[in-house]
Structure 1
């Protein structure tokens, strides 16, 4: 039986990869968002150019089996500088979506890519889903509000909801965040300088694994309400930069300015308790994933 899938924020990196995956599974895939290029929309059977509102979603006239809500703010820095706009994108967007689902599509499974930014600053140990929620950025506070709305929809209205706190999603085609910025800096400067001291840790998950986790949660009968989406192993930013330099064929010469960006936690590592209990684990190693990313970068932009 063909399933109907809705992907919001449909022109984003995770969204497009999600749409392509389900399209390859013979699903009918629909998207809503602000597109950047017509090529972004080739994976959709229907598209609405709009912010996520209940009114706009009604234009589809489709009963969805799965809603992957990738819409909303995606930048800590942008949210700090534009808190009201980020609120409307992230928090109000979830409220609009839930109103649509509650009134018109209550059987749909809503999967929300959230962020470990809800946990704020944590010690250098894996973060469990049940660890304290104490955001330190506008971005983190808004993600917490969005999560609370989804949990409310689940507990009060019986909506089927899964929240995935994705850590650092990366992969071929990503043109923002650390890997993209670092590759551009490294190839254009003999002595690239990066924020922080290099000892910050991040947990990386390849986009193929991120999409695989979304699909996995959709297929199991009783998915958890909240789950970490990470590789379960931290790597320092310094180590990531060194790997990029090696794969780019550039002598190691990068340095760090010692200044932390506002709102950026120092340590990130996803606890794996819930995922291991479900029998799911990522497949792509960070070394293989970074190598493929650099090969793509060199071929197209190096």
Structure 2
């Protein structure tokens, strides 16, 4: 199997690359722009077993040349801008990468003239807010994004579906729930909270912290994506979830407990603009393929705290005042 992984130096992407190289030995090339969230350090333990090319998926000439040279069986697209706060402050990069970048991948596939499968990594956020209901989103539900980030991801999904129908391109889309684990950028909730506590600064939550999310350890997500490549059906969408629901406040309280701090250490701020209060998905389709999460929430959080405690070399260069150490996350 020859696999081209776009965005493979990011959080979920690098964990996926590590999984397919260590467990499957697939021939792998990583194509990554190396933005603030994509780092070659994320791949340092597998660099001798992959090929790395620095590039932007929105650069059609460069991307097409690389695809022609490598001739992959599968393109796995993780390349994306993903941080909701950044999308609120500056939407333009999200439009370029998450929409124009997906368009470039599709145009390359359409023009290149041989059979390639696109495995696209989307998000549960495309379904929108389910607060005040008991519903769970299925793959057939209409998309109802709330932020510039989720709107750009929904747009990419719709482009892929349109190219599949119009041009016959092969695709499979996965929509994971909230991921956490090693190599996640410190701007995100769990690593940000761990690092702030290490600096003896209180974790800061939007609103009252009652936002409900489904939490999934990143290695389980990597296994799910691999399974969809191996056993999934073309032109299908697969929700990927752990059914491990917890509020944002509960997650941070568990981190505080693991790090020996009281729950009262938390600081509460104003709500995020356009905030989604609850996500939930039906994940029967991927479970029918034989996947289920193996790492429980308590275990996964302990592993994550331990990793950040032991890998200061990795996260310390990424700590910035605006998104990690500021007194307020807005």
**Cα offsets for 1:272-298 (capped at 9, x unmatched):** 232233332111111110011111222
Which residue number corresponds to residue 59 of structure 1? Answer: 65
| Superposition TM-score, scaled by structure 2 size | 0.84
Are residues 40 and 291 of structure 1, via their aligned partners in 2, closer, same or farther at CA, if it must alter by over 3 Å?
Answer: closer
Question: 2:174 aligned with 1:164, yes or no?
Answer: yes
Question: 2:20 aligned with 1:22, yes or no?
Answer: yes
- Give, in whole Å, the separation in 2 of the partners of 1:40 and 1:192: 25
**Cα offsets for 1:133-174 (capped at 9, x unmatched):** 211111111111100111012112222211111211111232
Does the CA-based 8 Å contact 1:197-1:256 persist in structure 2? Answer: no
Which residue number corresponds to residue 46 of structure 1? Answer: 51
More displaced, 20-29 or 103-112?
103-112
**Cα shift at 1:251:** 2.4
Which residue number corresponds to residue 198 of structure 1? Answer: 209
Does the CA-based 8 Å contact 2:130-2:280 persist in structure 1? Answer: no
Report how many aligned residue pairs link the two structures: 300
| Ranges in structure 2 where 5+ consecutive residues have no aligned partner | 317-330
Question: 2:152 aligned with 1:142, yes or no?
Answer: yes
Q: 1:116-265 maps to which residues of 2 (within 5 A)?
A: 116-123=124-131, 124-125=133-134, 126-176=136-186, 177-189=188-200, 191-220=202-231, 222=233, 225-257=236-268, 259-265=270-276
Which residue number corresponds to residue 96 of structure 1? Answer: 104
| Ranges in structure 1 where 5+ consecutive residues have no aligned partner | none
- Counterpart of 2:126 in 1: which secondary structure? helix
- Give, in whole Å, the separation in 1 of the partners of 2:111 and 2:162: 15
- Counterpart of 1:29 in 2: which secondary structure? strand
**Cα shift at 1:50:** 1.6
Does the CA-based 8 Å contact 2:139-2:237 persist in structure 1? Answer: yes
- Give, in whole Å, the separation in 2 of the partners of 1:223 and 1:156: 14
Does the CA-based 8 Å contact 1:76-1:263 persist in structure 2? Answer: no
**Cα offsets for 1:230-268 (capped at 9, x unmatched):** 212311112111110111122222335252212431112
Does the CA-based 8 Å contact 1:16-1:40 persist in structure 2? Answer: yes
Aligned-residue RMSD, C-alpha: 2.1
| Superposition TM-score, scaled by structure 1 size | 0.91
The ranges of structure 1 where at least 4 consecutive aligned residues each deviate by more than 4 angstroms after the TM superposition are none
62, 77, 81: which one pairs with 1:73?
81
Which residue number corresponds to residue 113 of structure 1? Answer: 121
- Counterpart of 1:253 in 2: which secondary structure? helix
